[in-house]
Amino acid sequence: KAGVTQTPRYLIKTRGQQVTLSCSPISGHRSVSWYQQTPGQGLQFLFEYFSETQRNKGNFPGRFSGRQFSNSRSEMNVSTLELGDSALYLCASSQILPGQNYGYTFGSGTRLTVV
């Protein structure tokens, strides 16, 4: 079966612009989570969507937002980009509910560079 697909793979944006990243989860997976990976910080949780609702949110400013569509595909948006937003953004999908085993499958990520 197809894995988690993230588009685009690479992106270069200018400070102050906004960006939208896309994630298509594995078919049948209803939970989509987003993580930011930066050197020295590891993976930081951004938010999780389940059935089109944001179920949990990490400690990021309001410039980071997301949404999920009825087909479980998800997008995340970053507005007013800052140099520090340069990172690898990873999407993970799961069909598991809270309290059970974690069946996260990660996509390959979108590498965002802000100049």
Q: Side by side, which strands form the sheet with 5-7? A: 5-7, 19-24, 74-78, 64-68
* 36 counts as binding other proteins under rule CB under 8 A: no
* 60 counts as binding other proteins under rule CB under 8 A: no
Least distance to other proteins from the beta carbon of 94, Å?
6
* 107 counts as binding other proteins under rule CB under 8 A: yes
Tokens at residue 54, please?
């944001």
* 4 counts as binding other proteins under rule CB under 8 A: yes
Residue with tokens 């970053």: 78
Tokens at residue 99, please?
């309290």
* 28 counts as binding other proteins under rule CB under 8 A: no
Cα(63)–Cα(69) distance, integer angstroms: 20
Q: Which of 58, 65, 75, 86 forms a contact with other proteins (CB under 8 A)?
A: 58
Least distance to other proteins from the beta carbon of 85, Å?
18
* 84 counts as binding other proteins under rule CB under 8 A: no
* 53 counts as binding other proteins under rule CB under 8 A: no
Taking a C-beta distance cutoff of 8 angstroms, is the pair 33, 43 a contact?
no
Provide the phi-psi class of 70: left if phi over 0, else alpha when psi is between -120 and 50, else beta: alpha
Footprint of other proteins on this chain (CB under 8 A)?
A: 4, 31, 33, 35, 40-45, 48, 50, 55-56, 58, 90, 92, 94, 96-99, 101-109
